[in-house]
Chain A
Amino acid sequence: MAEQAKATRARPLSPHLQIYRWPVTMATSITHRATGIALAVGTLVVAWWLIAAATGADAYDTFSMYARSPLGLLILFGFVWSLSFHLLNGIRHLAWDSGFGFQVKTAERTGVLVCALSLIAAVGIFAYAFATRGVLA
């Protein structure tokens, strides 16, 4: 590793995050990374679900008990919303990679659209689960 020459005095730093306005495009960008990290944790929930289902009734009951607790439901909702957001915003990124949607107005509109649709999808999936299975019952 080539060692850089040591700076002899403190170098000027660029202003940090809190100094900037938060346009939609910036917010969706960091949310994409945050939901990606959340989904990495979520792989453990999916693995637990599969292992519990493969192991037996007792193991599945334990999983269900935690999943149906208030904290469990909050984590599940966070997982579902993270997946919805990362999926929709991922499609937005793939469009950018292909050269579409770069106009500032377009990028802002698709950003708002992704936020709205991801919330609608997550709430919809949970409303379905509550309506058909009475999750909290």
Chain B
Amino acid sequence: MSVRTPLGRVEGLGAAHRGTEHFISQRVTAVALVPLAIWFLVSALSLIGADRSDAVAFLAEPVNAVLMALFIIAGLMHMALGLQVVIEDYVISEGGKVALLVLNKFFAWVVGAASIFALLKIALSRSLS
């Protein structure tokens, strides 16, 4: 006869083992991404088909560089949280799940580091020269 509450007995037994902070982070990044994604759709994507000089001039603009950095960071955080749920939902084997969850985090960090580095190179080399 256990004295644990029904909630205490089932806590941590789902595929994810935890969740509240994940749920909140997913929504906080979503709220941040609403204005950032609108900005990206309207301004950055109007550069489709543009020359390199137009693209570089756009990204070197301080306001655009900061907004782009925020879009990349919030977007990749939101992406990592979302893909984590997809992996937890569909990958049955524990080992495969853990491996993909780790790869998911690595993917976000590598894409983020490369994108931010490229962005800083453009923005800083323009403003310092």
Chain A interfacial positions (CB closer than 8 Å to B) = 1, 33, 36-37, 39-40, 43-44, 46-47, 49-55, 57, 60-61, 64, 67-68, 76, 80, 83-84, 87, 90-91, 93-94, 97, 121, 125-126, 128-130, 132-135
Contacts and interface: CB of A to CB of B under 8 A. Distances in A.
B70 to A, nearest CB: 14
Given A50-B119, A51-B118, A1 B49 contact: no
A94 B94 contact: no
Contacts of A128: 46
B101 interface: no
A129 B42 CA distance: 11
B102 interface: no
- Most chain B CB neighbours (cut-off 10 Å) among A49, A54, A80: A54
Given A40-B82, A67-B49, 15 more contacts: A40-B79, A40-B107, A50-B118, A51-B114, A57-B52, A61-B52, A67-B48, A80-B45, A87-B34, A87-B37, A94-B27, A94-B34, A126-B48, A129-B48, A135-B49
A125 B37 CA distance: 14
A87 to B, nearest CB: 5
A60 to B, nearest CB: 4
B82 A36 contact: yes
B121 A76 contact: no
A134 B49 CA distance: 8
Given A53-B118, A84-B41, A97-B27, A43 B79 contact: yes
A43 B111 contact: yes
Closest 5 pairs between A and B when the two form their complex, measured CB to CB: A135-B49, A133-B49, A60-B52, A54-B118, A50-B118
- Most chain A CB neighbours (cut-off 10 Å) among B52, B79, B117: B52
- Most chain A CB neighbours (cut-off 10 Å) among B34, B37, B40: B37
A33 B114 CA distance: 25
29 contacts: A36-B79, A36-B83, A40-B79, A40-B82, A40-B107, A44-B111, A46-B115, A47-B114, A50-B115, A51-B115, A53-B118, A54-B121, A60-B52, A60-B55, A67-B48, A68-B49, A83-B37, A83-B41, A84-B41, A87-B34, A87-B41, A90-B30, A90-B34, A91-B34, A93-B30, A129-B46, A133-B49, A134-B49, A135-B49
